[in-house]
Structure 1
């Protein structure tokens, strides 16, 4: 279990090491495992701006152009003891991952938050699973914590449980200090994907492949395994097409060495505040490395 972090931005408790794959190719016997010691830090405005902005760009995918990412990064960095960065080579380096939460209501007049809120409502209207999100966001006395989290592609999912556990502790400490983090709901913005059949060789494809292709595109897969856990604890959840979506044809460019392409999409997960800690515990049970 991750110990509760000291809210002093200069002092943090140690976080457990994790492992990363050195080589994903070949059989199980051929895989080289590289031991990497990940370190958890509070946000440092003079260090983390560019790395955080890059991870936000990755998180929001093709729709990142709709937002002032510099302003969003600055807002996250303005609350250094809420959330974490994960690094490998010390505090002075760029983050490999981050997690933070913003109070949508408190920062409602901030332009980038206002833009995000309008975007959230627009996308919720396009997704059956999120259709009642506007009612929740507009309800009296609602305080929604917007969770933003991303990591570099090869960073293992095992870093996620400590990040979420520390967030629970940090929010608890902030509420004790009378800071505006007593959330009634948490809204996670993330991303997922669907598998799309290639359009390049369909005429020459065997019938079995055509039948398989006809069944693709309906199931949602998560880039972040923890999102699958969070979705099971959600009040509302759903996926949506990006505003700057480039069409199914772009999935072919993301096929790599597989038969099917990948169609990225946005995902939102809304969890009631009282159920969030249980969801975080479930993430730990699902993803924490064996002891």
Structure 2
């Protein structure tokens, strides 16, 4: 049983960094999106973070990257931000660059302006860890990453499942570790991707 309540409590207690998109005056039903980053080292003793760490290490099928993942989740956890991102299917994708811009701006501001040294230091990330869903084509041999023609894996928003059947694909998880100093490039590429679609 996952400690989802504890995970939600960590997110809610972190008021310095993170954004929520909701309908004004709708206390219960108006949440449309959430984006934040939790320091894995700061919360390493919380049951929910321990469960996430143990689960990711257990299900990692790429034996050649388990050591690197373990290093990020344990040895370097003080400098790793777990990106927590959730949105409803009807949220316009044009809002995504603004949400990520706000997240990275808030992290930058905290590391410069936060009077509490411990809090300021806890947001000096060297890596961001993102966990997402992908679909892998059934019957293909396992590869370290998707091929250049994009046939090995496809990324699908949850709502896309309603519009086409994925008979030839199976649901998988993907964990990505992104160096924090690549955030400006990520922001540019996300903006470009949304503008081109």
TM-score range, shorter chain: 0.7 to 0.9
Match of 1:4 in 2: none
Unaligned runs of 5+ in 1: 1-65, 198-217, 225-253
**Where do residues 156-171 of structure 1 align in structure 2 (5 Å cutoff)?**
156-171=92-107
Report SS of the residue matched to 2:190: helix
| TM-score normalised by length of structure 2 | 0.75
Task: Find the partner of 2:155 among 222, 229, 232.
Answer: 222
2:40–2:73 contact (8 Å) kept in structure 1: no
Report SS of the residue matched to 1:268: strand
Report SS of the residue matched to 2:31: coil
| TM-score normalised by length of structure 1 | 0.53
2:138–2:169 contact (8 Å) kept in structure 1: yes
2:42–2:78 contact (8 Å) kept in structure 1: no
Match of 1:203 in 2: none
User: In structure 1, what is the Cα distance between the partners aligned to 2:13 and 2:193?
Assistant: 32
* Alpha-carbon offset, residue 276 of structure 1: 2.2
**Where do residues 118-157 of structure 1 align in structure 2 (5 Å cutoff)?**
118-124=54-60, 126-128=61-63, 130-131=65-66, 132-139=68-75, 142-157=78-93
Q: Deviations over 1:131-159 (max 9, x none)?
A: 32113334458511000112112323222
Question: 1:70 aligned to 2:1?
Answer: no
User: In structure 2, what is the Cα distance between the partners aligned to 1:156 and 1:273?
Assistant: 26
User: In structure 2, what is the Cα distance between the partners aligned to 1:96 and 1:113?
Assistant: 24
Q: Deviations over 1:37-59 (max 9, x none)?
A: xxxxxxxxxxxxxxxxxxxxxxx
Report SS of the residue matched to 1:190: strand
Larger radius of gyration: 1
Tell me how many residue pairs correspond in the alignment: 175
Report SS of the residue matched to 2:171: strand
User: In structure 2, what is the Cα distance between the partners aligned to 1:81 and 1:109?
Assistant: 21
Match of 1:90 in 2: 24
